[in-house]
């Protein structure tokens, strides 16, 4: 039998068990909602208007769709014409997959799909042993577009059992756009999830493009989070964001922040660009990327690794804002092979610092900041300012180590002035001070120098901000006038030096230069 529409199929029962029917379309031939069906003479299953159809006036017997693989939303009556609310069709597919033994994939073919309400994907129903993995795939970022006009979450992936972690599913190949008045809408919200993948997805015009709560083991490939208030937010109380990987993603034009991650263990960002974010601040942390290691002590180290990313034209506090030293254990920020550009044009499109590190008070939360082989530049009529250092590290007591080996700074005015242990040139410690001999007042200092104390004529103690791992560093001296300068004693937290004339008499020198290096 051949029917032109689903409506006609629902008027005609099969002549015998296993009769086969071909339907040309859901509403009209060729609209993508048709398919092949067989007649199940004994079925009393509920009709879902996509896979199972009941014939009008027939209590026993159902038409059942013949298919394998993804479930097409057009089989449930969706229309990609931007004038039809597709909530019922999308929700029906989600419900069907939630009740399938192993879940499955919802497929959204090319078209523009209006959604007036959000769709929820319950990945676990019945009991905790019945795991349904539901994936959502479109035909392409440029060909499948979902326009959300409702409130709340456009898509929500979750488990009804909070103790269960949903694993191994994917979201790919579509554009999701918010239309209408923006309140607190979220493009995609993910809860209690692990080992998922998102690829070629673009999300625009939401309060938060992606909100992942209690989330770990995820990879994002070539995704675009553009022109939202917040681009991406990773958080969690039971599951800290762990093993999160972004490859070649774009976070651009988000008005408050591009990315915010709190309490995470490992965040990796490889390639892609972060630009034009942080221009209409509604949050004190506005700018590019904010990483907060949190306050809960975590076994093992915490690391944020940013490799080969392009930062340009962000506003607010920083391109990368890193919070550590608050009780979460050892943390490491690695920024390698990354470009930072400040631009001055229509408005002053530059951050206060390209990288800003704010450390707390906890001694059990040491931090290591490695900025290697990066380039820091400015364009157009940008004017350098010593108040806008390329990198700034501030601590309230937490210890840290800093290295910027191989990095290039365009302006000497904005070169980092880090007060603490700084590693240069294959991890050699670098510190230095220039002080007046008569009163030990500091003229200039860099790195791990705290104060200089004058013990007497030609006798000085140089105090360090942080104790070195050992007293094996190598100091070098010079003065503005002839004198013999030598080490009297060296400790992990201080260095005592003396200055004498040629006859061995103590001597105050107008200015003394001290540099320290060592393994």
**What DSSP letter does each residue of 104-154 carry, written as one string?**
EEEEE-SEEEEESS-EEEE-B-SSTT-B-EEEEEES-TTTEEEEE-SSSEE
Q: What is the mean pLDDT of residues 195-206?
A: 95
Q: What pLDDT, on the 0 to 100 scale, is given for residue 41?
A: 95
Q: What is the mean pLDDT of residues 31-48?
A: 96
Highest averaged pLDDT of the listed ranges 119-133, 259-273, 278-292: 259-273
Between 130 and 138, the higher pLDDT residue: 138
Pick from 282, 347, 284, 352: which is nearest to 320 by CA? Answer: 352
φ, ψ for residue 93 (rounded to 5)?
-65, -45
For residue 162, pLDDT beyond 80: no
φ, ψ for residue 74 (rounded to 5)?
-70, -20
For residue 199, pLDDT beyond 80: yes
Q: What pLDDT, on the 0 to 100 scale, is given for residue 419?
A: 80
Model confidence at 5, pLDDT cuts 50, 70, 90, reads: very high
Model confidence at 349, pLDDT cuts 50, 70, 90, reads: low
Which region among 16-25, 126-135, 383-392 has the lowest average model confidence (pLDDT)? Answer: 126-135
Between 150 and 214, the higher pLDDT residue: 150
Highest averaged pLDDT of the listed ranges 127-131, 191-195, 327-331, 495-499: 495-499
Between 349 and 102, the higher pLDDT residue: 102
What digits encode the pLDDT tens for the residues 446-466?
888 899 999 999 999 999 988
For residue 518, pLDDT beyond 90: no
Q: What pLDDT, on the 0 to 100 scale, is given for residue 126?
A: 47
Highest averaged pLDDT of the listed ranges 17-26, 184-193, 355-364: 17-26
For residue 300, pLDDT beyond 80: no
Model confidence at 284, pLDDT cuts 50, 70, 90, reads: low
Q: Residue 87 is encoded by which pair of tokens?
A: 């909530």
Q: What distance in Å separates the CA atoms of residue 120 and residue 148, rounded to the nearest whole number?
A: 14
Mark residue 368 as left, alpha or beta (left: phi above 0; alpha: psi -120 to 50; beta: remaining).
beta
Q: What pLDDT, on the 0 to 100 scale, is given for residue 401?
A: 86
Percent of the chain with pLDDT over 90: 61
Q: What pLDDT, on the 0 to 100 scale, is given for residue 277?
A: 92
Model confidence at 423, pLDDT cuts 50, 70, 90, reads: confident
Give the H/E segment covering residue 89.
helix 87-98
Which residues are CB-contacts of 47 (< 8 A; sequence separation ≥ 6)? Answer: 53, 54, 62
For residue 263, pLDDT beyond 90: no
Neighbours of 288 (CB within 10 A): 31
For residue 185, pLDDT beyond 70: yes
Q: What is the mean pLDDT of residues 298-323?
A: 86
Terminal-to-terminal C-alpha distance of the chain: 84
Q: What distance in Å separates the CA atoms of residue 421 and residue 424, rounded to the nearest whole number?
A: 10
Q: What distance in Å separates the CA atoms of residue 291 and residue 336, rounded to the nearest whole number?
A: 16
Q: Residue 254 is encoded by which pair of tokens?
A: 């988000």
Any idea what DSSP says for residue 285? Answer: T
Q: What pLDDT, on the 0 to 100 scale, is given for residue 286?
A: 77
For residue 72, pLDDT beyond 50: yes
Sign of CA dihedral 23, 27, 32, 33: negative
For residue 427, pLDDT beyond 90: no
Neighbours of 25 (CB within 10 A): 17
SS3 per residue for 191-218: EEEEEEEEEEEEEECCCEEEEEEEEEEE
Q: What is the mean pLDDT of residues 35-39?
A: 97
Q: What pLDDT, on the 0 to 100 scale, is given for residue 230?
A: 94
Q: What pLDDT, on the 0 to 100 scale, is given for residue 70?
A: 96
Q: What is the dihedral of CA 270, 276, 280, 282, to 10 degrees?
A: 10
Q: What distance in Å separates the CA atoms of residue 455 and residue 461, rounded to the nearest whole number?
A: 7
Average pLDDT, the chain: 89
Highest averaged pLDDT of the listed ranges 236-245, 344-353, 507-516: 507-516
What digits encode the pLDDT tens for the residues 464-508?
988 887 776 778 898 988 999 999 998 888 999 999 998 999 999
Q: What pLDDT, on the 0 to 100 scale, is given for residue 320?
A: 96
Give the H/E segment covering residue 88.
helix 87-98
Q: What pLDDT, on the 0 to 100 scale, is given for residue 59?
A: 94
């Amino acid at each position: 039998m051949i029917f032109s529409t689903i409506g006609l199929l629902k008027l005609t029962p099969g002549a015998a068990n296993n009769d086969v029917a071909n339907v040309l379309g859901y509403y009209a031939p060729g609209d993508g909602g048709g398919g092949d069906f067989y007649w199940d003479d004994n079925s009393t299953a509920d009709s879902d208007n996509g896979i199972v159809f009941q014939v009008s006036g027939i209590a026993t017997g159902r038409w059942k769709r013949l298919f394998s693989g993804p479930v097409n939303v057009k089989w449930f009556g969706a229309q990609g014409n931007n004038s039809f609310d597709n909530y019922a069709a999308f929700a029906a597919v989600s419900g069907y997959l939630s009740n399938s033994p192993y879940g499955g994939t919802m497929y959204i073919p090319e078209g523009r799909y209006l959604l007036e309400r959000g769709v929820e994907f319950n990945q676990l129903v019945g009991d905790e042993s019945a795991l349904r993995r539901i994936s959502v795939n479109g035909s392409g970022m440029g060909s499948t577009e979902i326009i959300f006009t409702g409130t709340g979450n456009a898509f929500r992936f979750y488990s009804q059992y909070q103790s269960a972690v949903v694993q191994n599913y994917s979201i790919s190949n579509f554009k999701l756009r918010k239309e209408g008045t923006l309140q607190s809408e979220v493009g995609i919200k993910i809860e209690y999830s692990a080992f998922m993948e998102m690829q070629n997805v673009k999300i625009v015009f939401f309060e938060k493009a992606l909100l992942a709560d209690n989330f770990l083991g995820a990879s994002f490939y070539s995704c675009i989070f553009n022109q939202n208030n917040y681009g991406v937010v990773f958080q969690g109380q039971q599951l800290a964001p762990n093993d999160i990987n972004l490859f070649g993603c774009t976070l651009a034009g988000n008005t408050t922040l591009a990315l915010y991650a709190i309490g995470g263990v490992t965040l990796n960002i490889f390639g892609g660009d972060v630009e034009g974010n942080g221009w209409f601040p509604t949050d004190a942390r506005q700018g590019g990327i904010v990483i907060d290691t949190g306050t809960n002590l975590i076994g093992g180290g915490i690391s944020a690794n940013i490799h080969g990313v392009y930062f340009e034209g962000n506003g607010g506090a920083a391109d990368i804002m890193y919070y550590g030293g608050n009780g979460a254990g050892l943390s490491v920020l690695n920024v390698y092979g990354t470009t930072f550009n400040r631009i001055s044009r229509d408005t002053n499109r530059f951050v206060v610092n390209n990288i800003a590190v704010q450390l707390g008070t906890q001694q059990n939360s040491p931090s290591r900041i490695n900025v290697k082989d990066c380039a820091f530049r400015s364009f157009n009529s940008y004017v350098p300012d010593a108040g806008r250092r390329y990198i700034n590290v501030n601590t309230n007591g937490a210890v840290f180590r800093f290295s910027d080996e191989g990095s290039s700074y365009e302006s000497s005015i904005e070169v980092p002035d880090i007060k603490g242990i700084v590693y240069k040139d294959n991890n050699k410690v670098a510190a230095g001070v220039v002080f007046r001999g008569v009163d030990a007042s500091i003229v200039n200092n860099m790195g791990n120098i705290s104060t200089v104390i004058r013990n007497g004529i030609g006798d000085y103690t140089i105090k360090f901000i942080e104790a070195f791992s050992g007293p094996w560093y190598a100091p070098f001296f010079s003065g503005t006038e002839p004198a013999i300068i030598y080490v009297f004693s060296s400790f992990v937290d201080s260095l005592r030096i003396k200055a004498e004339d040629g006859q061995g008499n103590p001597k105050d020198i107008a200015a003394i230069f001290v540099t320290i290096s060592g393994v």
